[in-house]
Amino acid sequence: MKKIEAIIRKSKFDDVKEALHNIEVNFFSYWDVTGVGNEKEGHVYRGISYSTTDIQRRYLTIVVSDDFLEKTVNAILESAYSGNVGDGKIFVSEVIEAYRIRTKEDGLAGIN
């Protein structure tokens, strides 16, 4: 099993959520987070300068079977892409075990 952590633009969240549901990833967790990015220049909008050092993002955590990893990562890559600085990051790590509390199932049965 793999754990996918994705940090994406908040404006792309609905697109990513739809892309994940389309490939039958129907369970994941997400949080609103603030991070610090590489971009050092501010932006001007309607004459007001805004700092871009603190960036509002959405953080997703998804656990999938090894077979589903590539499909899930590609869905996020395609749906979160804008081509601009700050599109986000995806991290993949190994999950040793998973349990469903209600049924006490473990392994893949614990996440499906």
Which CATH number, 3.30.70.120, 1.20.5.510, 3.30.70.2190, 2.40.50.140, labels domain 2-110?
3.30.70.120
pLDDT value, residue 75: 98
Q: Where are the domains of the chain?
A: 2-110
Taking the CA atoms of the chain, what radius of gyration do you get in angstroms?
Answer: 16
pLDDT value, residue 92: 98
pLDDT value, residue 53: 64
List the one residue out of 52, 64, 53 whose CA is nearest residue 98.
64
pLDDT digits (tens, 9 = 90+) for 25-40: 989 999 999 887 666 5
List the one residue out of 32, 98, 111, 100 whose CA is nearest residue 72.
111
